[in-house]
Amino acid sequence: MNGKLLAVDMDTDKINASKKNLRKGSPVKGHYTENILEAPLNEIVCWCSGVNKQSILGAMQNGARNMDDIRRMTGACTQGRCKELSPRGRCCSKEIIILLEAENS
């Protein structure tokens, strides 16, 4: 097994552990980039729904222009548990709005 495959396997284990913790209601803390505009595409933005930056940007490319569009198209910001689950300790709406404003400016 090469190192690259091993890294993928380790990431899969982390994702599965995180999903298991979410189902149990346990807070999941993880890595995040302070400035969402600089975050990698695979970084989780909405921790309660498991929506990453790439999904939000994809929704925007497909016509999402506001929070209601993002909610409808991705499921982000619909569970109300990001403040509890996110390592940022707050609702994901702030990061989503930053992404929307950057796209619309």
Angle at 75 between CA 46 and CA 14, to 5 degrees: 45
Q: For the chain, which residues make up each domain, given as ranges?
A: 28-104
pLDDT in tens, 17-71: 444 444 444 334 567 899 999 999 999 999 999 999 999 999 999 999 999 999 9
Cβ atoms of 99 and 57 closer than 8 Å:
yes
Domain 28-104 has CATH 1.10.10.1100: yes
Cβ atoms of 50 and 44 closer than 8 Å:
yes
Q: The tokens of 105 are what?
A: 């400016």
pLDDT in tens, 73-105: 999 999 999 889 999 999 999 999 999 999 887
DSSP state of 20: H
This prediction has a pTM of: 0.71
